[in-house]
Amino acid sequence: MVSMAKKVKKEVMTKSEMISMRNAITNEMETAKLTMIVQRDTPKYKGEPFTMMFQAVNKAVARNVKPATAKLLLYLCSEVAYGNIVSKGIPEMAKDLGYSDRQVHRAMVELEELKVVIKSKNPSDNRLTMYHINPHHSWKGTVKDRSKQISIVPKNQLDIFGQLPEQKGIILKPDKSFE
């Protein structure tokens, strides 16, 4: 039995060659050694905060919400922390958006009814309310953590469309009137 050694990936590959080129001043042919370094660019999003948003859910939600609710949802997606936790309360959100507390509260209730936002009590201080964005709508964190969260959350809280997630393809057929 032959054991396979781990392959070590080189991060940088270099290649050196002798080339000839014409001197721009004297117009004579000269040789020079050229070293070329081949390296993969680092992703542009590396280190930058981003949230994955799922198109089908957003399309369905966009059809059913008021403009203030859509603005709040976009704001929540920009403020969400890892694990889809929104750490701001309604007064802070209202101030940031330039809305009244009442407008933000109404929009939050609409998002809760659509099950895009899940409301819970803070485990360390039961008086405080915490908001979580449904992982079927968007996710900030790793794909593995999202899968874990989906498996933990009660199925009725993931029911954005009025049906279980496995059945949502049925109602997401293209709607010509929306396009």
Kindly report, residue by residue over 8-44, the tens digit of the pLDDT. Answer: 555 555 565 666 667 767 777 777 776 766 665 555 5
Would residue 106 count as lying in a domain? yes
Would residue 104 count as lying in a domain? yes
Q: What is the CA radius of gyration of the chain?
A: 26
pLDDT at 97: 95
Would residue 29 count as lying in a domain? no
In the chain, which stretches have pLDDT less than 70? 1-21, 24, 34, 36-48, 154-179
pLDDT at 46: 59
pLDDT at 91: 94
Q: Count the domains in the chain.
A: 1
Contact 163, 171 (CB under 8 A): yes
pLDDT at 103: 96
Would residue 163 count as lying in a domain? yes
pLDDT at 118: 86
Tokens of 107: 């929009």
CA-CA distance, 129 to 24, in Å (whole number)?
A: 72
Sign of CA dihedral 100, 85, 71, 135: negative
pLDDT at 179: 38
Would residue 94 count as lying in a domain? yes
Which residue segment(s) compose the domain that 134 sits in? 53-170
Residue 62, amino acid: A
Residue 63: which CATH number?
1.10.10.10
